[in-house]
Amino acid sequence: MDFKKLFDTYDWDEVKDSIYSKTGTDVLHALQKETRTLEDFKALLSPAAMPYLEQMAQLSQQLTRKRFGKTIQMYVPLYLSNECQNICTYCGFSFDNHIKRKTLTDAEILKEVSAIKSEGYDHVLLVTGEANQTVGVPYLKNAIRLIRPFFSHISIEVQPLEQHEYEELMAEGLNTVLVYQETYDKEDYRHHHTKGKKSNFYYRLETPDRLGRAGIHKMGLGILIGLEDWRTDSFFNALHLNYLEKTYWQTKYSISFPRLRPAEGVTSPKVIMNDKELVQLICAYRIFDGEIELSISTRENENFRNNIIKLGITSMSAGSKTNPGGYAVDPESLEQFEISDERSPQQVSEMIIQQGYQAVWKDWDNCLSNKIEYAELQGIKTV
């Protein structure tokens, strides 16, 4: 069974009712168990869990330290292009926004890379809009080939691709793909994605299956918090994660928690999640799944990021620019969204160290990738 079939057996309203009817007893039961089910995750997500937040935070911290030690992996986004053929109601790069469009050339990519490397980064996340003609597979292949000598871990957050296209990019050195469903509510999804390839809900939903079949090293999942009821959406995201972990067990997984931020042409979120609720969600994921990597970006403010370090997060970006050329080429171009924590990577690293944690700049090397190693053993050129 692929995820689409499993997903279609669930009803949004029934799931929502079930989460909101969980009781304190369900929460205590979930906290006391050794391993947790999706029903337990619902309890940990529910409003009934709020009085147990302190207990959840302590357990989350304990489980995170047991699996990951006191470490925070550092990564940085590199926006390659703001061209996009889709209309998404929440994004500054949306096709209907009349902004200056920009796609980095080879020379500009290398200039950005030089600025990023000077900050100490070894893990880069390449980001583009969804414009197949401009930033399709040939552009991405070229970009990965260009930057591969400078980074040991390359992630992308770009348009969903076919399995064979992911395989081509992996052969160039791609390690990780982030693909967020944004919302699992089909109606709401339609409302927010009115034009372009992204309007196909199921094509996006099935992307992690294509990635799993391609044998990707790691994939990142998430919802855009603010579009719909975050508790129900998070349940579906955990359902997706649970299915993927069982089906593609050799792949690693991460979850991100983007809360909708102000951006050009964007209206206010339909649903507001406060800081305590975000802490609850992060702890719920950790208690549900001790292996999962949990990531927080510069969308969140300084104070929140300082305090969440010890509660379950395992990776963080810092000093991020969300505009193509933002580090060195064209710092004034339009951002995808406003960032909230404007500290430099060095300042964030010092904050992590002050809390008794280690900022990890390199946690992976391409020589560990079986596919590349195999190709190299066979004498196939991979660089």
**Nearest Cα to Cα of residue 160 among 106, 214, 237:** 214
What is the identity of the amino acid at 337? F
Query: Which residue in the block uniquely carries the two structure tokens 């959406």?
Result: 233
Distance from CA of residue 279 to its chain's centroid? 17
Residue 229 Cβ vs ligand SF4, minimum distance, rounded to whole Å: 20
Listing DSSP states for 185-203 in one string gives -HHHHHHHEEESGGG-HHH
Residue 134 Cβ vs ligand SF4, minimum distance, rounded to whole Å: 12
- What does the alpha-carbon distance between residue 202 and residue 325 come to, in Å, rounded to a whole number? 33
Residue 206 Cβ vs ligand SF4, minimum distance, rounded to whole Å: 17
Cβ closest to ligand SF4, residue 129 vs residue 173: 129
**Nearest Cα to Cα of residue 100 among 264, 221, 327, 270:** 264
Radius of gyration of the chain measured on its C-alpha atoms: 20
Residue 254 Cβ vs ligand SF4, minimum distance, rounded to whole Å: 19
Cβ closest to ligand SF4, residue 60 vs residue 183: 183
Cβ closest to ligand SF4, residue 83 vs residue 122: 83
Residue 169 Cβ vs ligand SF4, minimum distance, rounded to whole Å: 18
Cβ closest to ligand SF4, residue 57 vs residue 88: 88
Using DSSP, state whether 241 is helix, strand or coil.
Answer: helix
Residues near ligand SF4 (CB under 6 A) are 84, 86, 88, 91, 93-94, 129-130, 198
Taking the CA atoms of residue 12, residue 13, residue 19 and residue 23 in that order, the dihedral angle to the nearest 10 degrees is -160
**Nearest Cα to Cα of residue 319 among 295, 296, 294, 298:** 298
Cβ closest to ligand SF4, residue 73 vs residue 86: 86
Cβ closest to ligand SF4, residue 130 vs residue 277: 130
Cβ closest to ligand SF4, residue 146 vs residue 266: 266
Cβ closest to ligand SF4, residue 53 vs residue 271: 271
Listing DSSP states for 41-70 in one string gives HHHHHSGGGGGGHHHHHHHHHHHHHHHH-S
Half-sphere exposure (Cβ direction) of 85: Cα atoms closer than 13 Å: 13
What is the identity of the amino acid at 245? E
What is the identity of the amino acid at 4? K
Residue 259 Cβ vs ligand SF4, minimum distance, rounded to whole Å: 15
Q: What does the longest C-alpha to C-alpha distance in the chain come to?
A: 60
Query: Which residue in the block uniquely carries the two structure tokens 């034009």?
Result: 195
Residue 158 Cβ vs ligand SF4, minimum distance, rounded to whole Å: 9
76 beta partners: 124
Residue 117 Cβ vs ligand SF4, minimum distance, rounded to whole Å: 25
